[in-house]
């Protein structure tokens, strides 16, 4: 099933006795690689963390499970635990000395907890001194931008916790990647969030009074906000959002987003690539983007969606060889 072996499936359900039999009687390997697509390179040990069953996780760890091993997406057993929201497993793994900031090239556990909106495991990581300034190496961000990323994600999410002790700067305005990529890729928000907005403004625009109330006392007053209050800031943010964006700024963001989307596709992060291709297409329909999204859907097993995008691509560029190829590939897959 999806490239998983029997031990992967048993571990994923937390079936300890089955796992014991497979390891002790059939010499199963807790580090055996399996999975396809988004779970390529997954081991039974990682799947046990995904199950949330501490006893199964402990058994695999005691029988050779490698806590430093990563799947094709750079996720270790700790990443699986925090992304799933498994608090007990997260606490257990950290108690065994697994580095809280382990990063195999695709982000730290803190990054994955944030992007999966797992506030409970995120809080556990912060309590174990997880470094906000090393969220991810994926985008090669300098330290100061990493802080902004985390705080902007907080203002776009529904987390209700105090994260400011971690060193996040509430006065940090959005860098090129912060509100845009996090919001569109992981939070489910599909609007182009303007650069240069403070976290408190983003919260105000969404009308989240509780978050504005939390951020306002910690934010330096904005000169062009005449009424520095919760209601005043919410009114200001909504008015500011109606102003047209600078065309040059929009084009720069589109170029950046295309680059990041292509990078995500090359790294086989098809979920992220699909979302960002869709975002770009909402703004400007383009044959190349439809072609790329068609291939992305094909890789994810969505033959019908791939064919639909291939048709659109072909309609825009009837004589383009790649459009014909995409259409044929989708037809073959759908048979």
How distant, in Å, are the alpha carbons of 247, 283, 320 from that of 208? 29, 27, 47
Distance CA 112, CA 162 (A): 18
Question: What's the pLDDT at 244?
Answer: 62
One pLDDT digit (tens) per residue for the chain, 335 residues: 567 889 999 999 999 999 999 999 999 999 999 888 778 899 999 999 989 999 999 999 999 999 999 998 889 999 999 999 999 999 999 999 999 989 877 788 988 887 777 888 988 998 898 876 555 544 434 333 344 445 445 544 444 444 444 444 444 444 434 433 343 334 433 344 444 566 677 778 777 787 788 778 767 787 778 898 999 988 888 777 666 656 665 676 677 777 778 887 887 878 778 888 887 887 788 999 999 999 999 998 888 999 999 999 999 999 999 999 999 999 888 77
How distant, in Å, are the alpha carbons of 38, 64, 139 from that of 105? 16, 23, 10
Question: What's the pLDDT at 216?
Answer: 80
Closest CA to 201 of 185, 181, 168, 224: 224
Residues 6+ apart with CB under 8 A from 317: 287, 323
This prediction has a pTM of 0.55
Alpha-carbon dihedral sign for residues 315, 270, 113, 83: positive
How distant, in Å, are the alpha carbons of 185, 199, 226, 253, 314 from that of 196? 19, 10, 19, 13, 39
Distance CA 54, CA 108 (A): 21
Question: What's the pLDDT at 30?
Answer: 95
Question: What's the pLDDT at 196?
Answer: 52
Residue 256: how many CB atoms within 10 A of its CB?
14
């Amino acid at each position: 099933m999806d490239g998983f072996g029997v031990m992967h499936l048993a571990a994923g359900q937390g079936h300890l006795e089955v796992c014991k039999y497979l390891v002790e009687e059939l010499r199963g390997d807790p580090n055996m690689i399996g999975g396809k697509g988004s779970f390529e390179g997954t081991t039974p040990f990682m799947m046990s963390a995904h199950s949330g069953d501490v006893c199964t996780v402990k058994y695999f760890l005691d029988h050779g499970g490698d806590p430093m091993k990563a799947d094709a997406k750079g996720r270790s057993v700790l990443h699986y635990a925090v992304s799933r929201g498994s608090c007990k497993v997260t606490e257990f793994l950290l108690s065994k000395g697994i580095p809280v900031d382990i990063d195999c090239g695709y982000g730290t556990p803190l990054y994955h907890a944030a992007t999966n909106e797992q506030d409970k495991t995120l809080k556990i990581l912060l309590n174990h001194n997880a470094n906000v300034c090393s969220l991810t190496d994926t985008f090669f961000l300098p330290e100061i931008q990493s802080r902004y990323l985390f705080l902007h994600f907080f203002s776009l999410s529904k987390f209700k916790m105090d994260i400011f002790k971690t060193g996040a700067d509430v006065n940090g305005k959005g860098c090129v990647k912060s509100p845009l990529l996090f919001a569109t890729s992981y939070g489910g928000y599909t609007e182009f969030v303007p650069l240069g907005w403070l976290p408190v403004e983003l919260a105000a625009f969404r009308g989240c009074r509780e978050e504005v109330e939390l951020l306002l006392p910690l934010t330096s007053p904005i000169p062009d906000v005449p009424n520095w209050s919760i209601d005043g800031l919410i009114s200001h943010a909504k008015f500011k959002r109606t102003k047209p964006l600078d065309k040059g700024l929009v084009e720069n963001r589109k170029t950046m987003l295309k680059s990041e989307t292509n990078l995500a596709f090359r790294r086989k992060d098809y979920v992220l690539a699909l979302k960002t291709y869709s975002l770009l297409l909402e703004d400007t329909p383009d044959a190349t983007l439809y072609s790329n999204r068609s291939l992305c859907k094909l890789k994810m097993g969505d033959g019908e969606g791939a064919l639909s995008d291939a048709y659109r691509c072909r309609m825009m560029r009837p004589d383009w060889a790649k459009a014909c190829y995409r259409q044929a590939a989708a037809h073959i897959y759908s048979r």
